[in-house]
Structure 1
């Protein structure tokens, strides 16, 4: 059963209270999991139990996504706001410098947490921010089209599509290489989460100016990219390696943009190895 926690965050207009929904399982060193835009913590469900055998896993619904309420005004959805919010969230849980793994938007946030030295290690799965301008426009246009389709479909149609492999392909093949592996319940939940995400537009707007060019030093960084990523093309992984020369760059064969469901065992191993490198 997921939980919620509220905590204060500083802003130019004075303190604001942010509420975040999260799932916590396992024991060991803390590991924070961050999903992508329009997604929810359950995107990590295929790997959580494996990770929880070695880590205290904390999977988050980012503010404005999943079951987490929107950020209170005037807080923005940019890196300079969301990164301190995540740091305050960890402090509210009594967690100091966790390992972090993130996918897409979550990967960008994970790298920024690493750059600020707020975490012990970073594993970024197809992180945002290493695009050319044309690639960014393509990704944003695709995301808006996905959200528009999700909002246009009535719930009975979403539920009917989710019951077949072909229907789940229609709903989720942009981000999954193997959408048939997704459960019907997950396909419905993810589609509804995408269309209901209150932070979607503001996050995209903030992302127009994002281009990650700074190195992340003094902690282990792993960057992994699905060989069948159709949203953030895998050549962006080469740029990520160039920006962060000390990072490990790993190919995820047969995986799409959200690889956790495409190959859970491989993704769990990459994350655990990446966090183990901090101890080594």
Structure 2
């Protein structure tokens, strides 16, 4: 960001990307920050459950790679495959979720990313007044990946952050509450 002369640019991330933009803000890089359901705020026990549930889910998605269009093409398949990620997976369209699920299955860095999340350092915070812009953290009240109780840990570590709750929303606000997510991002970065 600095090398490209983009100091002050707004950053937005979701899940691991949300952890990354919070880390950028902690390091004083960027401008306004929006972090949606950020990883990194698990207790030790929650982290074990996260790793133990998400790794097999990813392995399953990879094994079913060729059948994903059909499985995600009906509400039962979406519910079975996406229950950990969405508050209402049956209500999502195949066109909405298929690119993301394929990306998870196809990415060569998924394993390394999970290792970084589960075996790497815990998220550090930024003392009040030290981030370069506004920090907004959005959290789904029905998130089963980064549990809602973790929001208190996040706001403790980032005391300047404003917390926004997405009602009836799982881990992906862009799936479960897309208009609200867009509005939050635009309002928080303009």
TM-score (structure 1 length as normaliser): 0.62
Pick from 214, 233, 237 the counterpart of residue 151 of structure 2: 237
Structure 1 alignment gaps of length 5 or more: 1-86
Match in the other structure for 2:55: 144
Match in the other structure for 1:224: 138
Contact 1:130 1:211 in 2 (8 A): yes
Match in the other structure for 2:184: 270
Structure 2 alignment gaps of length 5 or more: none
The offset of 1:135, in angstroms, is: 0.9
Alpha-carbon distance in structure 1 between the residues aligned to 2:165 and 2:50: 20
Output one character per residue of 1:189-212: Cα deviation in whole Å (capped at 9) or x when no partner: 333222221111112222222312
The offset of 1:101, in angstroms, is: 1.1
Alignment of 1:249 with 2:163, yes or no, is yes
Match in the other structure for 1:131: 42
Match in the other structure for 2:87: 177
Aligned CA RMSD, in angstroms, stands at 1.9
Paired residue secondary structure (1:158): helix
The offset of 1:154, in angstroms, is: 4.9
Alignment of 1:116 with 2:33, yes or no, is no
Contact 1:181 1:261 in 2 (8 A): no
Alpha-carbon distance in structure 2 between the residues aligned to 1:221 and 1:228: 22
What stretches of structure 1 move > 4 A for 4+ residues in a row?
A: none
Alpha-carbon distance in structure 2 between the residues aligned to 1:224 and 1:186: 20
Contact 1:126 1:226 in 2 (8 A): yes
Alpha-carbon distance in structure 2 between the residues aligned to 1:114 and 1:224: 16
Paired residue secondary structure (2:103): helix
Output one character per residue of 1:204-258: Cα deviation in whole Å (capped at 9) or x when no partner: 2222223123215242101111000011110000001111111101111011011
The offset of 1:180, in angstroms, is: 2.8
TM-score (structure 2 length as normaliser): 0.89
Alignment of 1:1-280 (within 5 A): 87=1, 91=4, 95-155=6-66, 157-207=67-117, 208-215=119-126, 217-276=131-190
Where relative contact order (Cα < 8 A, 6+ residues apart) is larger, the structure is 2
**Structure holding more strand per residue:** 1
Paired residue secondary structure (1:143): helix
The offset of 1:116, in angstroms, is: 2.1
Alpha-carbon distance in structure 1 between the residues aligned to 2:65 and 2:58: 13
Alpha-carbon distance in structure 1 between the residues aligned to 2:65 and 2:157: 43
Contact 1:255 1:263 in 2 (8 A): yes
Contact 2:32 2:132 in 1 (8 A): no
